[in-house]
Chains A and B, each alone.
Chain A
Amino acid sequence: MSYATSKLAEEKVFKDPVHRYIHVRDQVIWDLVNSREFQRLRRIKQLGTSYLVFHGAEHSRFNHSLGVYEIVRRISDDIFHGRPEWDEDERLVVLCAALLHDLGHGPFSHSFEKVFNVDHEVFTREILLGDTEVNRILLKVAPDFPQKVADVIAKTYTNKQVVSLISSQIDADRMDYLQRDAYYTGVSYGHFDMERILRVMRPMEDQVVIKSSGMHAVEDYIMSRYQMYWQVYFHPVARSAEVILRKILQRAKELSESGYKFEQPPTHFKAFFNRSFTLKDYLALDEGVLMTYFQLWMTERDPILSDLSDRFVNRRLFQYVDFDPGKDYRKLGELGQLFREAGIDPEYYLIDDSTSDLPYDFYRPGEEEERLPIHLLMPTGDIKELSRLSQIVDAISGKRRTDYKLYFPAELLIDGKKKAIKNQILGMLREGGV
Chain B
Amino acid sequence: MLQEHAKIVDFISMAEGVTGRKKLQKMIFILKKMGLPFQEKYEFHIYGPYSEELTARIEELCDMGFLSEQLEDKGSYMQYKYTVTKEGMDFRNMLGETKVADQAQAAKLNEKSGRFLELTATLLFFDDLERAEQIEKLHIVKGKLNFTEEEIQQAFDFIDELQS
Q: Which positions in A face B, CB cutoff 8 Å? A: 113-114, 117, 119, 121, 154-156, 158, 325-326, 329-330, 332-333, 351-354, 356, 358, 363, 365-372, 400, 402
Stretch at the interface among B72-80, B99-107, B151-159: B72-80
- Expressed in whole angstroms, the minimum distance between the Cβ of A119 and any Cβ of chain B is 6
B81: Cβ under 8 A from any A Cβ? no
The answer to whether residues A402 and B63 also contact, given A117-B39, A158-B140 and a CB cut-off of 8 A, is yes
The answer to whether residues A154 and B2 also contact, given A366-B76, A368-B21 and a CB cut-off of 8 A, is no
The answer to whether residues A368 and B79 also contact, given A353-B1, A400-B56, A402-B56 and a CB cut-off of 8 A, is yes
- Expressed in whole angstroms, the minimum distance between the Cβ of B115 and any Cβ of chain A is 12
Of B55, B56, B64, which contacts A325 at CB under 8 A? B64
* Nearest-CB residue, chain A, relative to B6: A329
B137: Cβ under 8 A from any A Cβ? yes
The answer to whether residues A326 and B56 also contact, given A114-B39, A352-B1, A370-B50 and a CB cut-off of 8 A, is no
List, in ascending order, chain A residues with CB within 8 A of B20's CB.
Answer: 368
When the two chains form their complex, are residues A156 and B137 in contact, meaning their CB atoms are under 8 A apart? yes
List, in ascending order, chain B residues with CB within 8 A of A119's CB.
Answer: 41
CA distance A332 to B96 in the complex (A): 13
List, in ascending order, chain A residues with CB within 8 A of B21's CB.
Answer: 367-369
Other A-B contacts than A155-B45, A329-B95, A353-B1, 13 sampled, CB-CB below 8 A, are A117-B39, A154-B43, A158-B140, A326-B63, A329-B91, A352-B1, A354-B1, A358-B56, A366-B76, A366-B78, A368-B21, A370-B25, A400-B59
* A-B CB contacts (within 8 Å), total count: 74
- Expressed in whole angstroms, the minimum distance between the Cβ of B137 and any Cβ of chain A is 7
When the two chains form their complex, are residues A370 and B94 in contact, meaning their CB atoms are under 8 A apart? no
CA distance A434 to B42 in the complex (A): 32
B60: Cβ under 8 A from any A Cβ? yes
Mask of B34-67 contacts with A, CB within 8 angstroms, 1/0: 0000010101111100101001100110011110
CA distance A93 to B59 in the complex (A): 37
CA distance A351 to B94 in the complex (A): 17
The answer to whether residues A368 and B45 also contact, given A326-B65, A332-B2 and a CB cut-off of 8 A, is no
CA distance A372 to B22 in the complex (A): 15
B141: Cβ under 8 A from any A Cβ? yes
CA distance A353 to B41 in the complex (A): 17
When the two chains form their complex, are residues B44 and A156 in contact, meaning their CB atoms are under 8 A apart? yes
When the two chains form their complex, are residues B60 and A402 in contact, meaning their CB atoms are under 8 A apart? yes
When the two chains form their complex, are residues A329 and B46 in contact, meaning their CB atoms are under 8 A apart? no
The 7 listed contacts between A and B (C-beta, < 8 Å) are: A154-B43, A155-B44, A329-B2, A329-B64, A329-B94, A368-B20, A369-B21
When the two chains form their complex, are residues B77 and A121 in contact, meaning their CB atoms are under 8 A apart? no
When the two chains form their complex, are residues A326 and B66 in contact, meaning their CB atoms are under 8 A apart? yes
When the two chains form their complex, are residues B60 and A356 in contact, meaning their CB atoms are under 8 A apart? yes
List, in ascending order, chain A residues with CB within 8 A of B65's CB.
Answer: 326
